[in-house]
């Protein structure tokens, strides 16, 4: 232990917070919480069975789309996603300063286009719902949309522009969090699978790693879509989280002449242009458990939906294809807060919003673990809201891939 780490540990003890925290999973949730705790002087170990980001965090599109992704039934979640969106610029500044890395944050906004009159009617309905919740969205004609994005196919029926829905490069985000966390004194253990939760005397005492035990005063469950599979979790603390599969691909644009400047949503697809020229195309939403296969049907549907709005993609090379598993809770909202077992904390279930919610997750969980007052926006997102046993989809997802 370095002298700085030793001093931080003493400071943490003085505040009555836990001196040692062990975190399962090095996605944006685990690393973000770990970073905040390490900054506060806590001794933090993050255990990742593969490499940091290898779960959903590298697979994501990086949209910070609190506005256009808000659907009927998600009114309660909106307060949290809007807080995520609001916290992002300061989080980015602090993270970039701490890591010395850019996270590729882009603020050109998001455009949603309708290709037919039927689509336009559906878009009008959704937009009025979103505007009714106070979201600032501008209704555009097809030609106004094409003035913003000249490569759009002629004949777009209508569009909506959300100036406040931005994007970040989620893979750069993982790298920056890794660096910020370790620079703050945290220890990242990649290639270390957690094989069990250690509990004794009615509280979490640490983690089992094969034949080795790692003792801790508190344990954070941030294992994404795999969270309910951790051996040793008491039944009452198995979060109702299942994998929701997403297939995606990236095409290679000329970075000097990109086909898009903004994030674009069209029927059946979204497109995210990166500064390095990659055009991300996503994503399927499939209840297939941990089936990691890329399918002709999935990729074809994404490409066909893209070609209908952006025909110039036909000449682009395919740069990459991949599958990710969204950690989806029973009500599609994150599970953030103390478990029934003392010393166990849940940070999972972020579904389609874990990148957007990364700043909130990091702040909320670290505040709670350190005994600081809870953020009001967090009320209602604790694990205690799921009192009933797991439903069939979650039970079926119980088979480890």
Which residues contact ligand FAD (rule: CB under 6 A)?
A: 24-30, 47-50, 54-57, 59-63, 193-194, 222-226, 230, 246, 248, 282-283, 324-327, 348, 350-356
Quickly tell me which residue has 């674009």 as its tokens. Answer: 264
By beta-carbon proximity to ligand FAD, the closer residue of 268 and 311 is 268
Enumerate the H helices of 165-271 as residue ranges: 170-183
Q: How many residues bind ligand GLY (CB under 6 A)?
A: 7
3-state secondary structure of 377: helix
What DSSP character marks residue 39? H
Distance in Å, CB of 335 to ligand FAD, minimum: 10
Residue 12: count other Cβ atoms within 10 Å of its Cβ.
Answer: 23
The single-letter DSSP state of residue 363 is H
- Name the CA radius of gyration of the chain, rounded: 21
Q: DSSP 3-state assignment of 24?
A: strand
C-alpha torsion angle, residues 198, 344, 363, 228 (rounded to 10): 80
Options 12, 218, 241, 283; binder of ligand GLY; rule CB under 6 A: 283
Provide the minimum distance between the beta carbon of 246 and ligand GLY in the complex, in angstroms, as a whole number: 5
Find the residue with minimal CB distance to ligand GLY.
Answer: 352
Nearer of residues 39 and 353 to ligand FAD, judged by Cβ: 353
Residue 13 structure tokens: 């003890």
Instruction: Tell the smallest beta-carbon distance from residue 245 to ligand FAD (Å).
Output: 7
Which residue, 311, 303, 271, is CA-closest to 111? 271
Using CB distances below 5 to 8 A depending on partner kind, what does residue 287 bind out of ligand GLY, ligand FAD, none? none
Of the pair 61, 137, the CB lying nearest ligand GLY is at 61
Q: Residue 94 or residue 332: which is nearer to ligand FAD going by CB? A: 332
Q: Which is nearer to ligand FAD, 142 or 337 (CB)?
A: 337
327 binds ligand GLY (CB under 6 A): no
Reference 288, options 228, 224, 244, 332; nearest CA is: 244
CA-closest candidate to residue 65, choices 376, 357, 294, 367: 357
How would you label 253-267 residue by residue, b for 16+ Cβ within 10 Å and e otherwise? beeeeebbebbbbbb
Rounded least distance, CB 280 to ligand FAD, Å: 9
- Least separation in angstroms between CB 386 and ligand FAD: 17
Instruction: Give the one residue of 352, 358, 365, 386 binding ligand GLY; rule: CB under 6 A.
Output: 352
**Residue 142 binding: pick among ligand GLY, ligand FAD, none (C-beta 5-8 Å cut-off by kind):** none
Least separation in angstroms between residue 32's CB and ligand GLY is 17
Lookup: tokens for 323: 């599958």
Q: Residue 5, SS3? A: helix
**282 forms part of the interface with ligand GLY (CB under 6 A):** yes
In 3D, which of 48, 356, 55, 8 has the Cα closest to residue 183?
A: 8
Taking CB under 6 A as the criterion, the residue among 242, 245, 278, 326 binding ligand GLY is 326
d(C-alpha 206, C-alpha 170), whole Å:
29
Residue for token digits 């095409």? 251
Tell me how far, at minimum, the Cβ of 114 lies from ligand GLY, in Å: 19
> Is the Cβ of residue 36 or residue 351 nearer to ligand GLY in the bound state?
351
What angle is formed at CA 387 by the lines to CA 381 and CA 392, rounded to 5 degrees? 100
Q: Least Å distance between CB 176 and ligand FAD?
A: 14
Residue 313: name its binding partner from ligand FAD, ligand GLY, none (Cβ under 5 to 8 Å by kind): none
Nearest-CA neighbor of 302 among 259, 270, 260? 270
Asked if 246 touches ligand GLY (CB under 6 A), the answer is yes
Minimum gap (Å) between residue 11 Cβ and ligand FAD? 27
Interface positions with ligand GLY (CB under 6 A): 61, 63, 246, 282-283, 326, 352
């Amino acid at each position: 232990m370095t002298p700085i780490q030793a001093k931080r540990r003493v400071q943490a003890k003085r505040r009555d917070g836990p001196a040692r925290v062990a975190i399962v999973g090095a996605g944006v949730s685990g690393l973000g919480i770990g970073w905040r705790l390490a900054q506060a002087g806590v001794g933090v170990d993050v255990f990742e069975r593969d490499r940091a980001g290898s779960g959903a965090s590298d697979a994501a599109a990086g949209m910070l789309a609190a506005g256009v992704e808000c659907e009927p039934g998600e009114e309660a979640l909106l307060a949290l996603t809007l807080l995520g969106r609001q916290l992002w610029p300061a989080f980015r500044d602090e993270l970039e300063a701490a890591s010395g890395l850019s996270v590729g944050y882009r603020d050109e906004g998001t455009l949603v286009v309708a290709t037919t009159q039927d689509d336009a009617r559906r878009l009008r309905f959704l937009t009025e719902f979103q505007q009714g919740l106070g979201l600032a969205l501008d209704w555009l004609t097809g030609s106004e949309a094409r003035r913003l994005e000249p490569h759009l196919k002629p004949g777009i029926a209508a569009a909506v522009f959300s100036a406040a829905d931005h994007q970040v490069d989620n893979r750069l985000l993982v790298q920056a969090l890794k660096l910020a966390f370790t620079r703050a004194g945290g220890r990242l253990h990649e290639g270390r699978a957690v094989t069990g939760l250690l509990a004794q005397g009615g509280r979490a005492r640490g983690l089992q790693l094969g034949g080795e035990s790692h003792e801790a005063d508190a344990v954070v469950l941030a294992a994404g879509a795999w969270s309910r599979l951790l051996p040793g979790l008491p039944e009452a603390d198995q979060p109702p989280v299942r994998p929701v599969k997403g297939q995606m691909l990236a095409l290679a644009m000329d970075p000097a002449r990109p086909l898009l400047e903004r994030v674009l949503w069209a029927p059946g697809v979204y497109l995210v242009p990166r500064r390095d020229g990659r055009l991300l195309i996503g994503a399927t939403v499939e209840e297939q458990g941990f089936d990691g296969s890329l399918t002709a049907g999935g990729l074809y549907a994404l490409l066909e939906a893209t070609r209908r709005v952006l025909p110039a993609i036909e000449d682009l090379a395919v740069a990459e294809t991949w599958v990710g598993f969204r950690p989806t809770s029973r009500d599609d909202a994150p599970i953030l807060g103390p478990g029934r077992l003392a010393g166990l904390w849940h940070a999972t279930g972020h579904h389609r919003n874990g990148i957007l919610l990364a700043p909130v997750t990091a702040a909320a969980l670290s505040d709670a673990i350190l005994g600081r007052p809870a953020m009001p926006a967090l009320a209602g997102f604790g694990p205690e809201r799921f009192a009933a046993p797991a439903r069939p989809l979650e039970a079926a997802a119980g088979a480890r891939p």
